[in-house]
């Protein structure tokens, strides 16, 4: 009896599988027909919902699709059941850098006189009277002081009314008979 249970546990260990979902990182949609190669040589394609079963203990898996960037995943770095793949259009295949020796150019620039790169913009002063400035001056000297005085009067009146209300409340307290 123990022997049969032991053999069943060993077989279960051998056939243990892990389910993964392959998703496009840009659209967040599951990707179908992604070719997955596991390190034991087994090749599978993802289903319509992006799911695929891989061996539970694999050291490396290769995810390949024509519209997505190829990705290698180590079994130890795969913590959850989702693998994100980047679209191929966001990938640069190669970068070519073309340059020249700037030391010779630097030496020749030392001997050249310096010229300003951009000429300063001329100061343009409009001709004629400044109407907005004149209106501001008229407001500041005619209406402005009147508005400020009116605001001060309102503020003082509000303060006096609050003080009168306080006196009236105190008077009512003094007039009311004290009840012992």
Half-sphere exposure of 25 (CA within 13 A, CB side): 14
What's the CA angle centered on 135, arms 131 and 136, to 5 degrees? Answer: 115
pLDDT in tens, 109-158: 666 666 666 777 777 777 888 888 899 999 999 999 999 999 999 999 99
What are the CA-CA distances from residue 64 to residues 20, 84, 115, 134 (Å)? 15, 12, 56, 74
Cβ atoms of residues 69 and 89 within 8 Å: no
pLDDT bucket at 90, cuts 50 / 70 / 90: low
Note the pTM of the prediction, 2 decimals. Answer: 0.42
pLDDT for 3 beyond 70: no
pLDDT for 48 beyond 80: yes
Cβ atoms of residues 68 and 86 within 8 Å: yes
What's the CA angle centered on 26, arms 23 and 28, to 5 degrees? Answer: 40
pLDDT in tens, 15-45: 578 889 999 988 889 999 999 999 888 899 9
Beta strands 17-24 and 82-85, pairing class? parallel
pLDDT bucket at 76, cuts 50 / 70 / 90: confident
Structure-token match 């000429």, residue found: 119
What are the CA-CA distances from residue 9 to residues 6, 13, 90 (Å)? 5, 6, 46
How would you label 1-18 residue by residue, b for 16+ Cβ within 10 Å and e otherwise?
A: eeeeeeeeeeeeeeeeee
Average pLDDT over all residues of the chain: 82
Instruction: Please report the pLDDT score of residue 123 as a whole number.
Output: 79
């Amino acid at each position: 009896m123990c022997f049969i249970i032991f053999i069943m546990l060993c077989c279960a260990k051998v056939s243990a599988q892990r389910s993964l979902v392959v998703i496009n990182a840009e659209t967040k949609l599951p990707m179908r027909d992604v070719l997955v190669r596991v390190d034991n040589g087994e090749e599978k394609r993802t289903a319509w919902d992006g799911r695929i079963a891989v061996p539970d203990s694999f050291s490396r898996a290769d995810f390949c699709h024509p519209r997505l960037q190829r990705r290698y995943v180590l079994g130890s770095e795969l913590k959850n059941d989702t693998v994100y793949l980047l679209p191929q259009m966001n990938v640069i295949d190669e970068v070519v850098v073309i340059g020249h020796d700037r030391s010779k150019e630097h030496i020749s620039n030392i001997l050249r006189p310096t010229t300003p790169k951009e000429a300063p913009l001329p100061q343009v002063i409009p001709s004629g009277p400044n109407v907005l400035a004149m209106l501001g001056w008229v407001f500041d000297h005619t209406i402005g002081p009147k508005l400020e005085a009116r605001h001060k009067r309102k503020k003082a009146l509000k303060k006096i009314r609050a003080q009168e209300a306080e006196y009236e409340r105190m008077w009512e307290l003094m007039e009311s008979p004290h009840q012992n």
